[in-house]
Chain A
Amino acid sequence: MTEPAAALRRTCLHEEHVRLGARMVPFAGWEMPVQYTGIIDEHNAVRQAAGMFDVSHMGRYEVTGPQAAALLRHVCTYDMTRLQPGQGHYAAVCRPEGGIMDDVYAYALAAGRYLLVANASNAGKIYDWLARHAGGFTADLADRHTSTCMIAVQGPQALERLADVLDPAFVRSLRPRACAETAWEGATVFASRTGYTGEDGLELVAPADAGPRLWRALLGAGVRPCGLGARDTLRLEASLLLYGNDMDETVNPFEIGLAWAVTLDDGAGFIGRETLLRLSEEPPTRTLVCLKAEERGVIRPGCAILRSGRQIGNVTSGSHSPTLGVSIAMGFVPPEAAAEGTQLTVDVRGRALKARVVPRPFYRRPRPEERKA
C-alpha cells in the first residue's frame, strides 16, 4: 500500500525534479524521483561520466558537545572516537540482542562536532534511539533533515564537474572517505568523498535554501540528474547493502560481512557489544552471498535460493545489471553453500534460473589508467 500523496514529504529540490520531468514515487514517506530519462541511461551516466542524486530524504543529525564522540561510540558498532576531524566511517546501530536497527555513516567535522547520516526509512527510529541514550552524555542532538539538503555526485568525471562548481582546490584536497566544509556562494557546504554507487565522487550537504541553486549549478556543469532506480542498480553492482533488503533487525553484522565495521577490541560497552562479541566467536549460520544469473531472467528480492532442489535461502536484493547485462542478486545461504563458484538455482516465479556464487563486488571501478586504455 502506498501512502496518499498528501502525506508524503518533499525535499527542497522537489520543484527541480518536476521541472526536469522526473517520475516521482513514494519512498520511505518521501516523494522522490525514481527516474528522469530512464534507469539504464542514468546508470550508464554514472558509470561513464557523472550523475547526481537527491538524497535529502536520508536522516542527518548533528551531534555536538564534549561527549559527542562517546555518545556515537555508545550507539554505533564502530569506535567513532577514533575519527580525527575530517574523517568518516561506516557502522551499524544494533539492538542489545545484536539485530541491526540501521546502518549509518558518521563524519567528524571538528572535535566535538559530528554528522550522522541514517537511512530515510529509519531516520525517526535512529533519532529517537540517539535521544533516548543521549541522557548520560554531555552532547546535543540536532535534526538537520529539513534545514539541509543532500546531493550525491558520483562518477568517473564527478570530481572534475564538482571542481567547476565548488572551489577546485577544496575538491582536490578531499581524500577517499575524508570530509570537510567549504564556502559556496555564501553558504557552508559539507562534502565527503563517499558514495553508494561504486564510483568516485562526493556527497554534499547544503542549507536547504541554497539547495536548488547548487543543484542547478551542478546541472550546468554537466552532471546528469539520476533517480532512485539507478541508485539501486548502481549500489547492487557495487554489492553495497540496502537496509530493509539485505539487513534488518533479524540480521547481525557478521552475517552480512560487516565485521570491519564492528570494533570489539576497545573495551567500550557499546549497545549490543556482549551479543556481538559472542557472535564474533561463533560460526555464522548463514551468510550473504553475491549471485550472478547464468541464463536470462531477472532475480528479485524474496525469490527462493535452491541447491539440489531444496530451498536453502532467500534473495534479499536482485535486479538486472546494466553493466554486466545479466541479472545479479544477493541473498542468504548456509556457509557450506557460500563458496565462490557454487552452482545454485533461484526460483523466479516457478522458473528455476541457474545462478552461481561470485566474488564481491560484482563491479569494481577501473583505475583511471585502465579507463583511458
Chain B
Amino acid sequence: MVILPNLRYTKEHEWVLVEDGIGTVGITDYAQDQLGDIVYVALPAPGRRLSQLAVFGEIESVKAVSELYSPVSGEVVESNGALADKPELINDSPYGEGWIMKVRLADEGEIEKLLTAAQYSDYIEREAG
C-alpha cells in the first residue's frame, strides 16, 4: 500500500498536500483498495466553506458508499471535474489524477492535527490487523 511521505492524513483515509496555502485533497491508496471499484463521487461545489473533518462529499464503489471528510478548514476553490466521467481515476491514481478537491486553507496550523505518513501507516496496520 502506497503512503507518500510528504502528505498528511486523516483517520478517515483522506490525504492533503499543502502548497502556497492551497490544500489538494484525495483519498489514500489504502482507502481506494478497501472500497474497490469506484463508480461515483459527489463533488463539493467551488465556494463551499468546510470545517476540518466535516463531510464534504461521498464516494460510491460497487460495494458501498462512504463519506468524504475534509482534512482542513477553508473554502473549496476547485473540484476534480474529470472524476464525473472517470471516477476510476481514484483507483488508478489516488495521489495523482484521482485528486478530489482543492481548498484554500483557513488555518495552516490545523495541519499539525493530522497524521504524518508514519502515524497513518501505523494506524492502518492496526485497523487491518
Contact = CB atoms under 8 A, between A and B. Distances in A.
Contacts of A38: 36-37
Interface in B53-112: 58, 60, 62-63, 65, 84
Contact of A39 (B40, B42, B62): B62
B62 A297 contact: no
Contact of A349 (B36, B37, B65, B84): B65
Main secondary structure of the interface of A (DSSP, over half): mixed
Q: Among A233, A296, A322, find the residue whose CB has the most chain B CB atoms closer than 10 A.
A: A296
B128 to A, nearest CB: 12
A80 B36 CA distance: 42
A233 B58 contact: no
B65 A229 contact: no
Contacts of B62: 39-40, 229, 233, 319-320, 322
Nearest to B41: A296
Interface residues of B, number: 11
B36 A298 contact: no
Contacts of B58: 349
A273 B62 CA distance: 39
Contacts of B40: 296-298, 320
A233 to B, nearest CB: 6
A298 B39 contact: yes
A40 B39 CA distance: 10
A57 interface: no
A39 B60 contact: no
A34 B37 CA distance: 13
Given A229-B62, A229-B63, A300-B65, A35 B39 contact: no
B125 to A, nearest CB: 17
A38 B58 CA distance: 20
A320 B36 contact: no
Nearest to A40: B37
Q: Among B39, B42, B65, B84, find the residue whose CB has the most chain A CB atoms closer than 10 A.
A: B39
B65 A39 contact: no
A349 B37 CA distance: 20
A291 B55 CA distance: 29
Interface in A33-53: 34-35, 38-41
Given A296-B84, A298-B60, A349-B58, A320 B39 contact: yes
B65 A320 contact: no
Contacts of A349: 58, 65
A344 to B, nearest CB: 19
Interface in A209-237: 229, 233
A40 B60 CA distance: 13
A229 B34 CA distance: 13
A298 B65 contact: yes
Nearest to A39: B62
Given A296-B40, A298-B40, A349-B58, A39 B84 contact: no
Contacts of B37: 38-41, 320, 322
Contacts of A298: 39-40, 60, 65
B63 A297 contact: no
Contacts of A296: 40, 84
14 contacts: A39-B37, A39-B63, A40-B62, A229-B36, A229-B63, A297-B42, A298-B65, A300-B65, A320-B40, A320-B60, A322-B37, A349-B58, A349-B65, A351-B42
Given A39-B37, A41-B37, A322-B37, 7 more contacts: A35-B36, A40-B37, A297-B42, A298-B60, A319-B62, A320-B39, A322-B62
Interface of A: 34-35, 38-41, 229, 233, 296-298, 300, 319-320, 322, 349, 351
Interface of B: 36-37, 39-40, 42, 58, 60, 62-63, 65, 84
Shortest 5 CB-CB contacts between residues of A and residues of B? A320-B39, A298-B60, A40-B37, A39-B62, A320-B62
